[in-house]
Amino acid sequence: RAACAEIHEKYKKLDAWYGIEQEYTLMKPGKVGVPPTTPYGFNADGSEPAPQGPYYTGAGFGIAIGRPVADQHMEKCLAAGVKLAGVNAEVMPGQWEYQVGPCRGVEIGDHMAMARYI
């Protein structure tokens, strides 16, 4: 952070703005103490779901697998003052991303760190 702040100070007349996206995959819970291995939205036996199509990028009612979690994360970030520009489903069931920003200078890292914490 200190090195980044130093560079931004050196070039402050450029007024740098940033946006960063963070992708993540929701996983089905497993046994306590054992890392999960099956993404949320995959079949109970761990096999892949049907070919892409109906759930591709979460378009359509009842298709966006994990939307309540993604929406709740967005709501909590916004309530905490984290600058989020958006949220959307990705290609794989249970895969999501959110966009942090726009932010000036080193503040982007602060907002990303808090979004990840939340």
pLDDT (tens digit, 9 = 90+) per residue, 64-118?
A: 889 999 999 999 999 999 999 999 999 888 999 999 999 999 999 999 999 999 9
Mean per-residue pLDDT of the chain: 90
Q: Which one has a higher pLDDT value, 12 or 93?
A: 12
CB 83 within 8 A of CB 114: no
Looking at residue 60, its pLDDT comes to 66
């709740």: which residue's tokens? 72
CB 74 within 8 A of CB 67: no
Alpha helices, DSSP H, located in the chain: 2-10, 67-79, 107-117
